[in-house]
């Protein structure tokens, strides 16, 4: 196991490059199961999660070559329909092989993903959508078994208690590309990563309209062909660096290969606090030259404030004098980072589904524990902003979703190093 050791309080400056989107890459890799022809996917971040998905595709029978952020996925014989527990349990995103396997093979046996620290993470909407396309679904020994000779298009509603579901929309949209007839998904997820997946499927010959909006229409086709496709950059990684620049009061960090188009909720919240975030030719600039005001946020499905930036935003507000209320409508329990931030001198308490942040002038370095991907990113920001040294244990959480984060931050002048636990 490794830990990250950070000396806080240093002036950071320079350019940081955003990698390809993890949450685009995972469903798009699964979509390659919909064809026997080769798929080349560019701008794929080399992460624990994309390496896990590559391993899963290999166990399913695909040959996967992953070089310089480009994936080459080709068939090398019949594809298995079984996605094993040992892989799916390490990364719940692999559950999105269900739709493609079922559509391509007429059968899929996929392990139910476990929960994780941010919530129970049910899959009822995935199953509702797949059943809505005519699949017969049984559950056996922790596996979902879905069968259907030929899926049939249908008008489906995929809204849940917490709003739309990103990967349920992905699973059903992928399955519908090979179904007989037209499928309409109401209350579809509008995330840019869902739009990116739809564009990938269209490049394979799928017929999809309305993607990126709450109603997506898919007209089934008999077959999909191979393709070459470049995925979008990671808006959550970009947003993490925007909040890092703001929290460490560094006005000279330039974030490359990113667009604010998909980050307007964050830009708006920061504007209210007194931080100007602008972009020019694919580069993002963060400027804050005044005393910041506390700003309360509630997370929602896209285009609302992203839950994946909630922890990072909390760190900024922990450093802004005044009271902020933070509520996560997507994952109401996604507050495991509160205890760790309080160890660093933050003053945050839970009140029901709210986190009440009493901002202070400084945080102080301390040994802390990473718990989930985005909470770990928040601890890195806190460590860079704090006075003194911070040790972040269980680094593997970070490596799941941030490509070379420590070397990218070292290039900005951060004193940050990996050490064996």
**Which amino acids are annotated catalytic?**
116
Where does residue 261 rank: exposed (0-12), middle (13-18), buried (19+ CB within 10 A)?
Answer: exposed
Return the residues of window 50-109 that contact ligand EPZ according to CB under 6 A.
Answer: 93
- Can you tell me which of 109, 126, 337, 408 binds ligand EPZ, judged by CB under 6 A? 126
When asked if residue 398 is in the footprint of ligand EPZ (CB under 6 A), the reply is no
- Can you tell me which of 168, 197, 244, 416 binds ligand EPZ, judged by CB under 6 A? 168
CB of 365 to ligand EPZ, least distance (A): 25
- Can you tell me which of 123, 197, 269, 315 binds ligand EPZ, judged by CB under 6 A? 123
Cβ closest to ligand EPZ, residue 16 vs residue 330: 330
Lateral strand order in the sheet of 215-219? 155-157, 182-186, 215-219, 207-209
CB of 129 to ligand EPZ, least distance (A): 9
When asked if residue 380 is in the footprint of ligand EPZ (CB under 6 A), the reply is no
Which of the 8 DSSP states describes residue 387?
A: B
When asked if residue 401 is in the footprint of ligand EPZ (CB under 6 A), the reply is yes
Number of residues interacting with ligand EPZ: please give it, by CB under 6 A: 27
- Can you tell me which of 26, 57, 297, 416 binds ligand EPZ, judged by CB under 6 A? 26
When asked if residue 374 is in the footprint of ligand EPZ (CB under 6 A), the reply is yes
With b meaning 16 or more CB within 10 Å and e meaning fewer, what string describes 7-17? Answer: bbbeebeeebb
How many whole angstroms separate alpha carbon 117 and alpha carbon 110?
22
Pattern 180-209, ligand EPZ, x by CB under 6 A: ---------x---x----------------
- The secondary structure element, H or E, covering residue 23 is helix 22-31
Query: Could you check whether the bond before residue 275 is cis, i.e. omega within 30 degrees of 0?
Result: no
Half-sphere exposure (Cβ direction) of 377: Cα atoms closer than 13 Å:
25
- Can you tell me which of 101, 178, 292, 330 binds ligand EPZ, judged by CB under 6 A? 330
Neighbours of 235 (CB within 10 A): 26
CB of 246 to ligand EPZ, least distance (A): 20
Find out whether 393 and 368 touch, Cβ atoms under 8 Å.
Answer: yes
How many whole angstroms separate alpha carbon 212 and alpha carbon 164?
12
When asked if residue 381 is in the footprint of ligand EPZ (CB under 6 A), the reply is no
How many whole angstroms separate alpha carbon 215 and alpha carbon 259?
24
CB of 78 to ligand EPZ, least distance (A): 27
CB of 165 to ligand EPZ, least distance (A): 3
End-to-end CA distance of the chain: 6
- Can you tell me which of 237, 308, 340, 403 binds ligand EPZ, judged by CB under 6 A? 308
- Can you tell me which of 66, 85, 143, 162 binds ligand EPZ, judged by CB under 6 A? 162
How many whole angstroms separate alpha carbon 64 and alpha carbon 13?
38
How many whole angstroms separate alpha carbon 56 and alpha carbon 327?
35
- Can you tell me which of 148, 233, 257, 307 binds ligand EPZ, judged by CB under 6 A? 307
CB of 417 to ligand EPZ, least distance (A): 24
Cβ closest to ligand EPZ, residue 78 vs residue 115: 115
Tokens of 239: 């947003």
How many whole angstroms separate alpha carbon 289 and alpha carbon 253?
14
Find out whether 262 and 243 touch, Cβ atoms under 8 Å.
Answer: no
CB of 126 to ligand EPZ, least distance (A): 5
When asked if residue 135 is in the footprint of ligand EPZ (CB under 6 A), the reply is no
Find out whether 61 and 77 touch, Cβ atoms under 8 Å.
Answer: yes
When asked if residue 124 is in the footprint of ligand EPZ (CB under 6 A), the reply is yes
When asked if residue 167 is in the footprint of ligand EPZ (CB under 6 A), the reply is yes
Cβ closest to ligand EPZ, residue 103 vs residue 130: 130
When asked if residue 47 is in the footprint of ligand EPZ (CB under 6 A), the reply is no
When asked if residue 373 is in the footprint of ligand EPZ (CB under 6 A), the reply is yes
Which of the 8 DSSP states describes residue 344?
A: T
Rg (CA), the chain: 21
- Can you tell me which of 19, 23, 257, 273 binds ligand EPZ, judged by CB under 6 A? 23
Using CB under 6 A, which of the segments 121-129, 137-145, 258-266, 314-322 binds ligand EPZ?
A: 121-129
Tokens of 397: 């959480």
Q: Which parts of 321-404 are beta strand (E)?
A: 322-328, 348-351, 354-359, 367-369, 389-393
Cβ closest to ligand EPZ, residue 4 vs residue 172: 172
How many whole angstroms separate alpha carbon 167 and alpha carbon 160?
13
Residues that bind ligand EPZ (CB under 6 A): 22-23, 26, 93, 119, 121-126, 160-162, 165-168, 189, 193, 307-308, 330-331, 373-374, 401
């Amino acid at each position: 196991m490794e830990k990250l050791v950070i000396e806080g309080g240093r002036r950071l400056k320079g350019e940081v490059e955003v990698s390809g989107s993890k949450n685009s890459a995972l469903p798009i890799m699964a979509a390659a199961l919909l064809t026997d022809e080769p798929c080349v996917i560019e701008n794929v971040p080399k992460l624990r999660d994309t390496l896990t998905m590559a391993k899963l595709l290999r166990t399913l029978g695909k040959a996967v070559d992953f070089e310089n952020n480009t994936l080459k996925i080709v068939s090398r014989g019949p594809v298995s329909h079984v996605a094993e527990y040992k892989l799916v349990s390490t990364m719940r995103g692999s559950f999105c092989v269900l739709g493609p396997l079922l559509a391509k093979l007429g059968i899929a046996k996929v392990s139910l993903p476990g929960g994780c620290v941010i919530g129970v993470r049910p899959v009822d909407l995935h199953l509702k959508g797949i059943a809505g396309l005519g699949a017969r679904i049984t559950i056996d020994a922790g596996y979902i078994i879905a069968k259907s000779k030929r899926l049939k298009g249908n008008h489906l509603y995929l809204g849940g208690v917490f709003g739309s579901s990103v990967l349920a929309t992905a699973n059903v949209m992928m399955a519908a590309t090979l179904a007989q007839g037209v499928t309409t998904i109401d209350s579809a997820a509008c995330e840019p990563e869902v739009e990116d997946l739809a564009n990938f499927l269209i490049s394979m010959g799928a017929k999809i309209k309305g993607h990126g909006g709450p109603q997506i229409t898919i007209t089934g086709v008999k077959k999909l062909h191979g393709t070459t496709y470049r995925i979008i950059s990671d808006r959550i990684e970009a947003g993490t660096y925007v909040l890092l620049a703001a929290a460490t009061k560094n006005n000279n960090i330039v974030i490359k290969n990113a667009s604010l188009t998909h980050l307007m909720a964050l830009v708006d919240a920061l504007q209210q606090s007194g931080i100007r975030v602008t972009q020019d030719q694919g580069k993002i600039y963060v400027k804050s030259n005044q005393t910041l005001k506390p700003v309360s946020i509630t997370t929602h499905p896209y285009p609302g404030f992203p839950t994946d930036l909630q922890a990072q935003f909390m760190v900024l507000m922990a450093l802004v004098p005044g009271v902020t209320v933070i509520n996560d409508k997507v994952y109401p329990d996604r507050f495991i980072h509160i205890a760790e931030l309080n160890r660093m001198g933050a003053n945050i308490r839970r009140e029901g589904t709210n986190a009440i942040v009493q901002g202070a002038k400084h945080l102080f370095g301390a040994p802390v524990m990473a718990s989930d991907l985005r909470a770990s990113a928040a601890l890195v920001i806190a460590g860079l902003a704090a006075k003194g040294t911070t040790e972040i244990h269980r680094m593997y959480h970070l490596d799941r979703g941030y490509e070379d984060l420590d070397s990218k931050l070292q290039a900005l002048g951060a004193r940050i190093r990996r050490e064996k636990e």
